Structure 1
Amino acid sequence: MKLLIVTPHFYPENFKVNDMAFELQKRGHDVSVMTAIPDYPEGRFYKGYGIFKKRRESINGVKVHRSLIIPRHSGSSFWLAMNYLSYTFFASLKSLWFGIAKKYDAIIVHEPSPILVGIPAVIIKKLQKIPVHFWVLDLWPESLTAAGGITNKNIIYPFEKLTKWIYDNCTTLMIGSKGYEKSICNKGDFKDKIEFFPNWVEDSLESQKMIDVPKLPKGFNVVIAGNMGDAQDLPHIMETARMLKGSNIRFNFIGDGRKREYVENYARENGLMNNIFCLGRYPLEAMPAFFAQADILFMALKDTPIFALTVPSRLQAYMSSGKPVVAMINGEGADTIREADCGWSVPAGDSEQLANLLKHLSTLNKDELTQKGANGKEYSRKYYDFTKCINHLEKIIGTGL
């Protein structure tokens, strides 16, 4: 099949849609990607890319077409809005050309955020009368309130209408969390369009090959990998660290984001330099080496209704590592930890309960921690296998057996 993937992010940015595109191409499909100039997460164009550089390229056989964007810079609300709107505008212009001059059999939309990414896909769909399979990874307009703090109905209402229009024009709505179904169905009669399509775990996270990374400090090591943004509820993690000041519990942040400076400043101002360590961003291939040094892997999400509907991809990656998981989250994520018996969870925002749990875990017999990690790995192999997920995707788009 000739497939077009529409996404705001693609390689060299690190998103699962990369694996999807490369695997579909490897399986014999003719894959093209409509995306943007890469700028995530640092907020500036990657080296070698720009307005006049690498706007079209071939990566592992996948034809990549990059639209202009305004970089997200600091990630403030203003620059994020400019980033989202510029991508939508320029990608929609490009979609008019794609819809007339090119021919595809189906479109796959990758929507980490915002919902606006669906607009160029629907334009091509209407011009070519082809199916659109929409991978819903973020709920709109709920995200405006949960992540952006926007409650103005005059802003939210147009996004409600836009979301319904995009869903109306999709053949399939693929959801990675079953908790999304109710929210989507509240927007319209979409139940028959919904397909459960969970995130998979990258092969590099299950690799036994270790690359050289910094050694973690002595003590009970809590590793927190990934983006350091508003959604990750860093203030409550910092409050927990403050409660554990002077203990042997070490919080190791492996990643970057708009809140990294806040974490570093908090550690200095509160005398927590022996408890909090920001090691910076590393490639995905380095994660197994960091995870191997961890006593537990930790994640948190803010206490909002939308995050309670989500099974975070970070949780799935943690489970695949064979290490026990601790999470400060509500809803679907906490339910998954209980179902897999791969660790422990406390309610979102409950710093005191988290501090007490970590103190307790730091005294546990290693065998109990090891068993929790093994349970998570087994669950991951059963439900988050990459090959099984892509097989299912081929069935969804009508090419699988």
Structure 2
Amino acid sequence: MNFTYRTPADHQTAGGASSERLRVLVVSQHFWPESFRINEVVESLRSEGCDVEVLAGQPNYPQGRIFEGYSAFGLGTEMHPSGYLIHRVPVVPRGDGGGTRRIWNYFSFVILGGLLGPYLTRSKQYDVVFVYAISPILQGLVGAVFRRIKGAAHVIWVQDLWPESLEETGFVKNRWALAAVARLTGFIYRRADLLLAQSRGFIGKIQAISGDDVPIAYHPNPGDRSLVESATYEGSSLKLPAGFNVVFAGNLGTAQALETVLDAASRIQDPEIRVVLVGSGSRSEWLRKQIERRRLTNVMLAGRFPSEMMPSIFAQSSALLVTLNRSAALGLTIPSKIPTYLAAGRPILACLDGEAAEIIRDANAGITIPAEDSIGLAEAMVRLKNMPQQARECMATAGQEYFNSHFAPSPLARELIAHFRHARSNQARSRW
């Protein structure tokens, strides 16, 4: 394998195999039994020969309540059923998702992870500390602490752009505050030995903040093969009614352009077409009220289901739907559900812009519609439903082939290990 690392001052490549077994500490505020893509990545790294441990908070996402069997004040280490250690620090639960509680939730993990994480792992040595940097990027500070104490190479996998994500969601609007966040983000980036971007479009934005000294590489989110292999109609309490069921699966939040979905549904006259929203999020209650107020009989708010039930839900779907708001930052993002959608063997309706739409087009896996285009989305649903079955099957097969070539977990795990080795071999002097 051979990878190009983007730095203006020095374009470097790393490749080659090594028999050395890497010791990796994954830092992720959210982890099993919460459902996040990093769970799949850890399993894949272990299957490829890495010794992996995880530093996480107490599970409380998405409901905002600490899971049964855990405590917000808990501090300790547990064994995952697959046989690896998860070190957990206390966190303030998210609660109902309000701004103040979310801020306390974020900072509690960063502060206690940095202070107590080294205590929990005091007898451990690691070659790499790997930060799964969903928002907030502040988690990178925990990785920097471990880099300092353990001497491990520090790799940050950037999943959201800061400060762009704060500005796009309206969470922070003050220009001075956004500039301060940008400076803090740059400080965190420069404490890494390697930055990985989940989208190629992220690289320029990351580089503008991190400067010239830290190498950057593209590394996409893998699909979750376990969710789609041997999918059957068995195992789920959700039984979709007969008809053409367009399934949206995942977070129901402010970035998902849910108004567009409802507007599109209101335009569809075909009684066989139904939109099924599977998941939960900050707009779940808003959706319920809107469906009732608009009297939308063709929209089904199904609720959230455990990940092990998703294969049977995908198997019942006629098509899979992904939507995002129209914005410059979101146009650079690849939603983590897209790889799994590709693997699921169903045509995809993608109402979004940028790199994610390009993937669906390159894969010939479905129909793309510009972000927030409710008229276009309604027309695409009708067009897809009226296509010959063979045409839809061709899209489904093309999506699976594209998944195998670009997003399969095992090949991506091997690439990630190569990135780790590069970070170790080029570990820079301390930047504290």
The TM-score bracket by the shorter chain reads over 0.9
Q: List aligned pairs for 1:1-400, cutoff 5 A.
A: 1-53=22-74, 55-59=76-80, 60-95=82-117, 97=119, 102-190=124-212, 193-210=215-232, 211-213=234-236, 214-244=238-268, 247-272=271-296, 274-398=297-421
SS of alignment partner, residue 29 of structure 2: coil
Q: Is the 8 A contact 1:37 1:67 kept in 2?
A: yes
**TM-score, normalised to structure 1's length?**
0.94
Runs ≥4 in structure 1, deviation > 4 angstroms?
98-102
Mapped to 1, the partners of 2:394 and 2:35 lie a distance apart of 31
Give secondary structure in 2 for the equivalent of 1:382: helix
CA positional deviation for 1:366: 1.4
Residue pair 1:297, 1:324 contacting (<8 A) in 2 also: yes
Q: Report the residue type matching 2:293 in the other structure.
A: E
1:123 maps to amino acid: V
Deviations 1:329-369 (A, max 9, x none): 00001111111111111111111111122222222211111
Q: C-alpha distance in 2, partners of 1:54/1:164?
A: 31
Inter-partner Cα distance in structure 1 for 2:360 and 2:131: 29
Secondary structure of residue in 1 paired with 2:235: coil
**1:26 CA drift (Å):** 4.6
Q: Quick one: distance in 1 between partners of 2:122 and 2:78?
A: 21
* 1:258 Cα offset (Å): 1.8
Q: CA-atom RMSD, angstroms?
A: 2.1
Bigger RCO (CA 8 Å, 6+ sep)? 2
Q: What is the distance in 2 between the residues matched to 1:291 and 1:124?
A: 40
Match of 1:39, SS state, is coil
Distance 1:103 1:109, change over 3 A: same
**Alpha-carbon separation, structure 1, partners of 2:112 and 2:74:** 16
Tell me the secondary structure at the aligned position of residue 187 of structure 1. helix
| Residue ranges of structure 1 left out of the alignment (5+ in a row) | none
| Amino acid across the alignment from 1:323 | R
The amino acid across from 1:49 in the alignment is Y
SS of the equivalent of 1:222 reads strand
Q: Secondary structure of the residue that 1:362 maps to in structure 2?
A: helix
Question: Which amino acid is 1:264 matched to?
Answer: R
Q: Distance in 1 between matches of 2:95 and 2:73?
A: 19
- Mark the CA change 1:52 to 1:68 in structure 2 (over 3 Å): closer, same or farther: closer
Does the C-alpha gap of structure 1 residues 95 and 52 become closer, same or farther in structure 2, counting only changes over 3 Å? closer
Q: Distance in 2 between matches of 1:27 and 1:18?
A: 15
Q: Structure 1 stretch 367-376 or stretch 15-24: which is displaced more?
A: 15-24
CA distance in 2, matches of 1:381, 1:334: 18
Letter in 2 for 1:37: Q
Shift of residue 102 of structure 1?
4.2
Indicate if the aligned counterparts of 1:223 and 1:251 stay in contact, CA closer than 8 A.
yes
TM-score (norm 2): 0.87
| Aligned AA (1:212) | G
Residue segments in structure 2 that go unaligned for 5+ positions in a row: 1-21, 425-432
Tell me, yes or no, if the aligned pair for 2:140 and 2:188 is still in contact at 8 Å: yes
Please name the residue that 2:15 is paired with.
none
Distance in 1 separating the partners of 2:72 and 2:29: 16
